[in-house]
Amino acid sequence: MSVVEATPTVVPKNVRKTALNAVHRQMGAKMVDFNGWDMPVEYPASIGCGIVSEHMAVRTGVGIFDVSHMGDIRLAGREALAAVQHISMNDASRLAIGQAQYSALLYPQGTFVDDVIVHRLGEDEYLLVINAGTREKDFNWVRDNTRRFNCAVENLSDDFTQIAIQGPKGVDVLQKLTDRDLSAVKFYWVTRGTILLVDKSMRRYLGDTLIARTGYTAEDGFEIYVPSDEATSTWVWNRILEVGKEFGAVPCGLGARNTLRLEGKLPLYGHEISDTINVWEAGLDRFCKMEKPEFIGREALEKAKAEGLKKTLVGLEMIDRGIARDEYKVLDEAGREIGYVTSGSPAPFLKKNIALAYVPPEQAAIGTTVKVEIRGQGVKAQVVPTPFYKRPKKA
């Protein structure tokens, strides 16, 4: 066998660690280099984990993720809203205080700097949560493009340990640790609350903690932002797993994070979105508000819309036996190359082999039969509706 990776016992040089690195290693997680970060890809089978178990825990119960590698940019000041409106494609003026929205930062060509979640924390205060691999690029880009606005731009990426508590029972787990009534926090809203930490004889409170009902799993869940010192981070992580026990909570790595987001068709930077893919191609139209008079990328997008699409993102389901993987070629029925897979994997909950792929619009209709080239063979697949998975609506 050729692709067997072992977890190095020492973190390689020049690779960044989250405050929970030692905890992950102690738990026996398999660690990988993810965009320059030493991150857990999955936890061991001996504690009931592994990508499939972790994925299923989030769909049916609750899973806990360290997502501290994500970055955070704070914009605050009299013209913070104007700055956010200028650099992002969604309409931040619609956000009430405590509300969040999915959005993206665009280049003038209408392609992606990154996708972001914009949280409105106060009257003139916004927090952009950005991807790990694009942290520096994003911060420089935001700073450079907001200079003319009366607003301070701060990189808070290293200040927070970000922990995601995802799954239908996530609310039950987190409710055990906070005084804030979480049933009052709707999906894509953010609040501040106290996190209560009880450790045997000691009691400790983490006041004023940012609690957002957001995530990257296509499931209900929360992301909390706690101080990034190792002691506090470890304490919170362990405490969540401890109170989560009765709900079957398991730690989850980036492996499950990827399969979960793929089932929900949530884009991943460098795959479905990048600096060479525009908003229309990625199918993110509903998060792009062209009625906004101005934002970076708007002009190019107007032109691109008039010209029509050259490629479009579709969902594929394998019909014949085989797993489509990132960058595999997509062929038409006659075997001609027509596109490529951006993300492909077995889908643990759906128990199908699925993929996202760019193909010409003429071959994008639901039901179209295509082939994915797997080790030199064209394996049959079909264009299917997306998202592949939609969480059940609560009764």
Partner 1 sequence: MSYPTDRKYTKEHEWITADGTIGITHYAQDSLGDIVFVELPKIGTEISAGKPFGTVESVKAVSDLNAPVSGTVTAVNEDLATSPEKVNKDAHGSWMVKIKVKDPAESNALLGAADYEKFVSEEAGH
Q: Which residues bind partner 1 (CB under 8 A)?
A: 1-9, 30, 41-42, 45, 50-52, 255, 258-259, 321-323, 325, 345-346, 348, 375
Per the DSSP assignment, residues forming a β-bridge with 225 are 162, 210
Cβ nearer to partner 1, comparing 111 with 259: 259
Tell me the closest approach of the beta carbon of residue 218 to partner 1, in angstroms: 17
Alpha carbon distance 271, 26 (integer Å): 31
Tell me the closest approach of the beta carbon of residue 54 to partner 1, in angstroms: 10
Element (H, E) at 259: helix 254-263
Give the pair of three-digit tokens for residue 253.
Answer: 């790595």
DSSP 366-390: TT-EEEEEETTEEEEEEEE-S-S--
Cβ nearer to partner 1, comparing 98 with 346: 346
Cβ-based neighbours of 180, under 8 Å, separated by 6 or more? 191, 192, 193, 194, 211
Alpha carbon distance 258, 377 (integer Å): 26
Tell me the closest approach of the beta carbon of residue 107 to partner 1, in angstroms: 31
Tell me the closest approach of the beta carbon of residue 137 to partner 1, in angstroms: 26
Cβ nearer to partner 1, comparing 351 with 394: 351
Cβ nearer to partner 1, comparing 50 with 71: 50
Tell me the closest approach of the beta carbon of residue 395 to partner 1, in angstroms: 32
Cβ nearer to partner 1, comparing 7 with 238: 7
117 phi, psi to nearest 5 deg? -110, 125
Give the pair of three-digit tokens for residue 150.
Answer: 């009366």
Cβ nearer to partner 1, comparing 227 with 270: 270
Strands of the 202-212 sheet, one edge to the other: 190-199, 202-212, 221-227, 160-166, 63-66, 250-252
Tell me the closest approach of the beta carbon of residue 70 to partner 1, in angstroms: 20
Cβ nearer to partner 1, comparing 9 with 183: 9
Closest CA to 74 of 18, 120, 17, 22: 120
Tell me the closest approach of the beta carbon of residue 348 to partner 1, in angstroms: 7
